[in-house]
Structure 1
């Protein structure tokens, strides 16, 4: 057996390879040891700088170590503020509840009770599925192709990815999968299939308790549902007395341009799942928003030891301040336009290699004809100091997801590095092709 290293501060990953489980994943893509982060930048232990086009898989919408949020957290800790409280009432939670109500929900005409289900996105999804089944007395839930809702068993049962599902170790049940918007091509409205199956007693679809949907599928490949399709989905839920659950874990908190990803579609979900950037600072926190008439939980019927993360409440309260004057939304709009312009120009240049541009807001990407090219781009980008990842059922999408607060100049620098990486992949490769001998 190889000796276990006893040094701390090494740049290689020997310690992690020998002592950490094989289940680790992101560190395999980013082969270094990170030591420091600020805004949209990270540095490893050698001092090498990286531009962050990953943002903690959407958990760092406000960047690393945001000073406004950090100062609030530090002040709270230095004044011996409550850190852990289960679901006891605290001043930090009270401030968050009032801020979320008056700054986020009321301006959007939304009415929800807030549930703190546990600290992660899958906790929120599990609680949403449970309350929907409790309200309706039914068990079946409609989910969609290429969906991703989490890694615990209930959430995983509503996740489409075969690789993820294969890790469950047990059969996954309680869900019926139907095609997401665009799954059958641009000319086929999949909501019509859903309508037919719900109305046909011979379809084999048990009457569902709920429909769970992402307005845009992040891990599924940046597939975006149209406003018309989402509105039709809401109409079918009302017609068949099913609850509409929107999983906004990754797309919420401004990732698509508005605080909630469903705002532009004008729908009113019965339940909304939030996590990732709701914690403001990358701190574990999740919310399940429930229409008041469906909040029929008995005390303690769903709980969790770390649902009272007061540091998360403090950070989240300060993060909401970014949404008060419209400045952040304007910045997202400007950045989104720059990203789209860059990606469309790139796709046009490499038309034989790149299939299309997908995404919205500040989560957009390139879909490659050869799925391996997406991973190759991410590797070459990392060599140039840009952190980004793939998504899609075949990892065919190279995804740009920087913090919403990234500086304009840094965003441009990161995209220039991606352009250089693509040039190395394609232009340089073509130059190396042997010149044919013609008669």
Structure 2
């Protein structure tokens, strides 16, 4: 840590929350330089849905490298890309009757969001984009316009308000206010002062925003409204896609068909940088080379991404396992909440993205620090920082899931004992 503290920018974040130097990792376990073992309930902020150094992916990757397979390919046609496209179509898109075309953008989620915004504006000839309170879509300037957290927008406020309108997310306003109905009303009223937008972008579950879950019926209503008014719907599935909610896509249970979908984080399966924009074919208005990037062809990621789909998504077995683990985690966390109702106010989520809301940020931070000291890596989220987010690998072994929960529960007990002294 000495070299990092001395030479790396103050912008670093996670190394402050988890102050040790990590060396090796496998599955749901990370080891540090002092040979301490940690259970990982962070999973690369959702980039490691299948755990660290997944052996199936590693074998394919090592074989590909050993054969001098193409690593960097811009957007050239390569064997690895061809295979990924074939597998993704066969096992993900076709069974769900989704007829998307794929665009491989720059390597991170924010690159996919930037491409989606740009394409929406080109396709419709309109500029305004509607987003939501507590939304998180990335840190490049276009994506940051759609991100609500004040911490990330600080110092850029005057530049970020152009072409963006924020609506209350589901449940943001108490008393039954429905922002979908409000959107329908203002778009139907020529006196509302709201210009018809190019698109609306949303997360079906707001991860960084506090694990706020949009009900299926609300998502269906929003889809009907966007279709009624000729507005594109973009679903940001960067954190909650690739199985995190139990299905491959987070919007599947709602039965909606978004116009565009952004994917990144766990799409590569191995933590390798990769991002995709899925679009309905009629929206593919790009001219050749109109949206480009040097690292839009990470062939190592194509290799592991194809293997992840073949290994885990050829049938329903894996999603059934996620459902089982989710039910178990919800059951135990609700028991913990009931036993500690003086400091815990809510448990919510879906699949294996679950939030436990504490009375304040200080209490939540104490719990995560105590958990780390005892071998569990877990982070806080939400605009106030008072929410602890459970994000374990989807294939975590039940023994490690149990042990992680035990460490977490002991952390709560420990901080309460200290406060009583």
TM-score (norm 1): 0.94
**Distance apart, 1:174 and its partner CA:** 1.3
CA displacement, residues 147-190 of structure 1 (integer Å, 9 cap, x when unaligned): 00000000000010011011547511211000001111262222
**Distance apart, 1:215 and its partner CA:** 0.1
**Distance apart, 1:300 and its partner CA:** 0.6
**Distance apart, 1:352 and its partner CA:** 1.8
Aligned twin of 1:195: 184
Aligned twin of 2:316: 326
CA displacement, residues 31-67 of structure 1 (integer Å, 9 cap, x when unaligned): 0000000000000001000000000000000100000
**Is 1:143 paired with 2:131?**
yes
Aligned twin of 2:61: 73
**Is 1:53 paired with 2:44?**
no
Q: For 1:350-361, what aligned pairs fall within 5 Å after superposition?
A: 350-361=340-351
Conservation of the 8 A alpha-carbon contact between 1:211 and 1:244: yes
- Gaps (5+ residues) in structure 2? none
Aligned twin of 2:385: 395
Conservation of the 8 A alpha-carbon contact between 1:120 and 1:285: yes
Q: For 1:201-280, what aligned pairs fall within 5 Å after superposition?
A: 201-280=190-269
Q: For 1:168-187, what aligned pairs fall within 5 Å after superposition?
A: 168=156, 171-172=159-160, 173-185=162-174, 187=176
CA displacement, residues 276-319 of structure 1 (integer Å, 9 cap, x when unaligned): 00011000000000000111100011011000100000010000
Seen in structure 2, the aligned counterparts of structure 1 residues 375 and 167 have a Cα distance that, compared at 3 Å, is farther
**Is 1:339 paired with 2:329?**
yes
Aligned twin of 2:32: 44
**Is 1:416 paired with 2:403?**
no
Aligned twin of 1:123: 111
Seen in structure 2, the aligned counterparts of structure 1 residues 279 and 186 have a Cα distance that, compared at 3 Å, is farther
**Distance apart, 1:426 and its partner CA:** 1.8
**Distance apart, 1:428 and its partner CA:** 5.0
**Distance apart, 1:202 and its partner CA:** 2.5
SS where residue 159 of structure 2 aligns?
A: coil
SS where residue 231 of structure 1 aligns?
A: helix
**2:99 equivalent among 89, 111, 117:** 111
Distance in 2, matches of 1:279 and 1:293, equals: 26
Distance in 2, matches of 1:168 and 1:73, equals: 41
**Distance apart, 1:203 and its partner CA:** 2.2
**Distance apart, 1:201 and its partner CA:** 2.2
CA displacement, residues 314-352 of structure 1 (integer Å, 9 cap, x when unaligned): 010000011112221111111101110111001111112
> Between Structure 1 and Structure 2, whose CA radius of gyration is higher?
1
SS where residue 171 of structure 1 aligns?
A: helix
- Gaps (5+ residues) in structure 1? 1-12, 433-439
**1:101 equivalent among 66, 76, 89:** 89
**Distance apart, 1:224 and its partner CA:** 0.5
Q: For 1:360-439, what aligned pairs fall within 5 Å after superposition?
A: 360-430=350-420, 432=421
SS where residue 273 of structure 1 aligns?
A: strand
Conservation of the 8 A alpha-carbon contact between 1:343 and 1:365: no
**Is 1:288 paired with 2:277?**
yes
Aligned twin of 1:19: 7
Range with greater deviation from structure 2 (163-172 or 411-420): 163-172
Distance in 2, matches of 1:138 and 1:158, equals: 16
Distance in 1, matches of 2:19 and 2:157, equals: 29
Seen in structure 2, the aligned counterparts of structure 1 residues 317 and 222 have a Cα distance that, compared at 3 Å, is same
CA displacement, residues 73-106 of structure 1 (integer Å, 9 cap, x when unaligned): 0000000100001000001000000000000000
Conservation of the 8 A alpha-carbon contact between 1:182 and 1:190: no
Aligned twin of 1:348: 338
Range with greater deviation from structure 2 (385-394 or 177-186): 177-186
